[in-house]
Homo-oligomer: A and B are copies of this chain.
Amino acid sequence: MNKKTFVVLGFAAALTSGVVFAAPVHNNNVTEDEVLAAQQAWGAALLQISQDYTEGGLEKATATATAVLDQAYGYAHGPVLFKPTLTSGDTTFRTTQEGALAYFVGGNPDFPDSGFALKGWQEYHFENAAIYINGNMALTMGNVMLTNADGDVTTVDKTWGFKKDDQGDLRIILHHSSLPFSAD
């Protein structure tokens, strides 16, 4: 160890006579890569529901959407803060899984939805404006562009909150989606 270059005030400086041995490390924190993968998986899942609707009808699409909600959202552990793009009035917020499923595939008389995921989505594209990672949570905000079967692109402003669960999987616990503001 070279004591001459040692600076007490630089607490985080790496100076050492000590050697660090490898130790098992347990790390619960979210990484940026996990966040980006979770976004991609959300997009892929949306396209899958659309494809399953085309190929297998509402029953198949509903099964797929249910699986997506089970796996990708945190409804099993409590309310999810979900404001879908096209909701309004008394059913604006979908804090239960039933409400979320209704939004994606429709068919629930308690909700006015026609099924957002049934619109034949073909492509998705993300442009994150910023990402905030804090412990086992991560927040993202940005644009999502979705392309339908006619090639029309819908752009939405989207915020997601993810939480890593005990198994190490990210789950969506917040999702606020809105159409861009138009002064018209």
Contact = CB atoms under 8 A, between A and B. Distances in A.
Nearest to A80: B130
A143 interface: yes
Given A129-B93, A161-B132, A181-B85, A38 B11 contact: yes
Interface residues of A, number: 97
Contacts of A154: none
A130 B166 contact: no
A100 interface: no
Interface of A: 1, 3, 6, 8-21, 23-30, 32, 34, 36-41, 43-45, 47-49, 51, 64, 67-68, 71-72, 77-83, 85-89, 92-93, 95, 123-137, 139-143, 157, 159, 161, 163, 165-166, 169-170, 173-174, 176, 178-183
